[in-house]
Amino acid sequence: MKSAMKDNVLTKESVQQIAVEFLKKRKCTDRVDVSAIEKENEIWIIRGTCPIDLEGHPWAERFEVVLDTKGNVKSTSFALL
């Protein structure tokens, strides 16, 4: 993940890559759809959706991942759509 950073400066592309890799591992999914990437003060907020299997039925889940300036995940939130 750290290789995505150039001169310790995160770009939209690198924070998206970090969030997608994190979510793929955490949610055991191959598909993560990022809809928005925002930088607020010293944090990055990545939002989107990913599919989940809920008792044998496919559902979509909304996520929000917050990264610090070093690319570390600070918080996450999930909600069914």
State the CATH number of the domain containing residue 36: 3.10.450
- Cβ contact 20:27 at 8 Å: no
| CA 54/CA 37 separation, integer angstroms | 27
Q: At 8, is the pLDDT very low, low, confident or very high (cuts 50, 70, 90)?
A: low
Provide the pLDDT confidence category of residue 6 given band limits of 50, 70 and 90. very low
Dump pLDDT digits (tens) for 13-65.
Answer: 999 999 999 999 999 899 999 999 999 999 999 999 999 988 889 999 999 99
- Full domain range(s) for residue 32: 2-80
Write the pLDDT tens digit of every residue in 33-47.
999 999 999 999 999
| Long-range CB contacts (within 8 A, 24+) of 34-39 | 37/12
**Domain total for the chain?**
1
- The closest of 29, 3, 20, 35 to 76, measured between CA atoms, is 20
pLDDT at residue 53 in the model: 87
pTM score, whole prediction: 0.85
